Chains A and B, each alone.
Chain A
Amino acid sequence: MSAANITRLVVGDKYHITLGKPVGQRKHDPDISKTLIWKNGRWERSVSVLERVFQAPAKKSSVIEIDPKASGQGNAWAKLQSLVKRKPNVLIARLVLAVFGTIAIVSSLALMIGKWQESSSPETAELPIAAAPTAPQAPASDQTFPFPDARPAGEAEAGRVVPSAVQVDPGPYVIPPEIKAMLDKPDTAAVPAVAVSAPAVPTPATKQPVIATPSGQPAAAKPPANTQQAASEKVPQAMLFDAEGTAPVTAAAKVPSAPPTPQSTGPKVETQVKAPLKAPTVLVAVTPDGKSALFTNPATRLPERFSVGEKIPGGETIKAIDKNGGTVKTDVRDYKLE
């Protein structure tokens, strides 16, 4: 008999004994998922981050799960509020920030461009105003009159009066350059030859309200003689008189009218000249010595020089000339420099 047989005879045969449930980590334990077992270089029963990202479905937070047992809309409203209170969508927040940023940038650029345009062209706004006929002569805002004491506007001190054109002492009338040139010429050449025989323009006393019509216009525009007489009293100074209709009862008035001679150099008055429109006689200037005065010839519309005792184109005789006051007295009226 072998030892084994003896052993089996003495001790007995092999038999299976249950030790029990071991304490600690157990294999194939459902609770073992809560624990980590390191095996083969990785944690068993562990899910990697990539697996979680690609396999795990994203829970849709936009779907509101309404409990069927809940009554009314209060539960749904509470869920909606809970959704609103959640963290805002990152994408929407980024879009909103981008929109606001773009608006801010565009507005700032627009303001900068507007300010640059205003600073680059400050006088452009004054062009419409300067388009007026007198605009070229009107000084700019930053221009100053060439007065001895004139100072730029920016340097004006408080309490210091800046001389302006209004404050200039009128004093003697300043003769315009073109008129002054005429005054410098010898009297013989500049003295107009006034037709003493008959005035070209009827006197105010014998004015007849005849409206001279230019050639070619229908005669209907010419009012009848009766109405002319009635309106004679109301004819203003600016009214031009027709030489034929308003000619006084003189032989000179009936002289056939000759075509007007446009003489720029010859201020000679042609009483026979028929002018469709005649300007009134206006005192233009007074010579510094006070011996002569310039009057506008209505026929030629050119200034003419007259001395004391001479007759102006209006038929009036100059009695006196006041150079200081700028007035000329005639036998009919007084003329004053404007």
Chain B
Amino acid sequence: MQQDNHQESIVIDPVAMNIVNRVAPGTRMTGGIESDGGLIVEGTFIGSVKVTGGPLVLMQGGVIQGDIFCSEDAYLFGTITGPTDDVHAEIEVAGAAFLAETLTAKANLTAADFKVYEGTQFDGRIRTVRKPQHAQSKVDTSSSA
């Protein structure tokens, strides 16, 4: 993670972060997915998402409509909503949840750690729990002026 002008950025390296699956932009997927590896969502996924062995990266423009479970870190840049409009989605992150400035979520978050950035729109409850197993993140926290 790099800091530039007081903003942090991250480098997503699929190979280093063991991201094996991708929902390409313009893709609309319905159902449930369980990924043994990281997942990048750039399209729309309606259903439950369970990601283990890797991070969950919800890119800007990506939409997840359903519950989310991630055993490692989750980088949320897109949109998260519940199964229905009046229901909040349940997000469980064993690692750290990064709520980026472009995130729009209507969910209840349960994570070991979380980091909020200015501009994020989160409608829901945020709860932190002791992470039973924290996966080492590839985020570079060195600051660069």
Residue numbers in B under 8 Å from A8 (CB-CB): 14-15
Question: Which of A10-18, A198-206, A233-241 has 4 or more CB atoms under 8 Å from chain B?
Answer: A10-18
Contact B8 A27 (CB under 8 A): no
Q: Which of B19-27, B63-71, B79-87 contacts A (4 or more CB under 8 A)?
A: B19-27
Task: Tell me the bound Cα distance from A12 to B39 in angstroms.
Answer: 12
Q: Are B9 and A27 in contact (CB under 8 A)?
A: no
A4 CA / B37 CA spacing, docked (Å): 13
Note all chain A residues with C-beta closer than 8 A to B120. 20
Contacts of B7 in A (CB 8 A): 18-21
- Asked if A19 and B14 make an inter-chain contact with CB atoms under 8 angstroms apart, the answer reads no
Q: Which residues of B1-51 have CB atoms within 8 Å of chain A's CB atoms?
A: 1, 3-4, 6-16, 19-22, 40
Whether A29 is near chain B, meaning CB under 8 Å from some CB there, is: yes
Give the contact-size bracket for chain A.
Answer: 20 to 34
Are B22 and A17 touching (Cβ within 8 A)? no
CA distance A20 to B4 in the complex (A): 9
Quick check: is A59 within 8 A (CB to CB) of the other chain? no
Query: CB distance B12 to A28 under 8 Å?
Result: no
Which listed segment binds A: B94-102, B104-112, B129-137? Answer: B94-102
Q: Is the pair A17, B75 in contact by a Cβ cutoff of 8 Å? A: yes
* Bound form: Cα–Cα A187–B143 in Å: 147
Query: Which of B15, B22, B116 interacts with A22 by CB under 8 Å?
Result: B116
User: Is A61 among interface residues, defined by CB-CB distance under 8 A?
Assistant: no
Within A223-276, which residues are at the interface with B (CB < 8 Å)? none
Q: Does A26 contact B (CB under 8 A)?
A: yes
In the complex, chain A residues whose CB is within 8 Å of the CB of B59: 17
Which residues of B are found within 8 Å of A18, using beta-carbon distances?
Answer: 4, 7-10, 101
Please tell me if the beta carbons of B15 and A23 are within 8 angstroms of each other in the complex.
no
Contact of B22 among A10, A15, A16 (CB under 8 A): A10
Instruction: Name the residue in A10, A14, A18, A21 with the highest tally of chain B Cβ atoms < 10 Å from its Cβ.
Output: A18
The answer on a CB contact under 8 Å between A19 and B101 is yes
How far in angstroms is the closest Cβ of chain A from B49? 16
Q: How far is the CA of A182 from the CA of B143 in the complex (A)?
A: 138
User: Is B14 touching A11 in the complex (CB atoms < 8 A)?
Assistant: yes
How many Å lie between the Cα of A213 and that of B102 in the bound state?
A: 149
Which single member of B8, B13, B40 contacts A20 (CB below 8 Å)? B8
Q: Are A11 and B10 in contact (CB under 8 A)?
A: no
When the two chains form the complex, which single residue of A10, A22, A28 contacts B118, counting CB atoms closer than 8 Å? A22
Of B12, B16, B98, B145, which is in contact with the most chain A CB atoms at under 10 Å from its CB? B12
| Nearest 6 CB-CB pairings of A with B | A20-B101, A20-B117, A14-B13, A11-B14, A18-B9, A21-B118
10 A-B residue pairs with Cβ-Cβ distance under 8 Å, sorted by A, are: A4-B15, A17-B77, A18-B4, A19-B115, A20-B8, A20-B101, A20-B120, A21-B117, A22-B117, A28-B3
Chain B residues in the interface with A (C-beta under 8 A) = 1, 3-4, 6-16, 19-22, 40, 59, 75, 77, 98, 100-102, 115-120, 143, 145
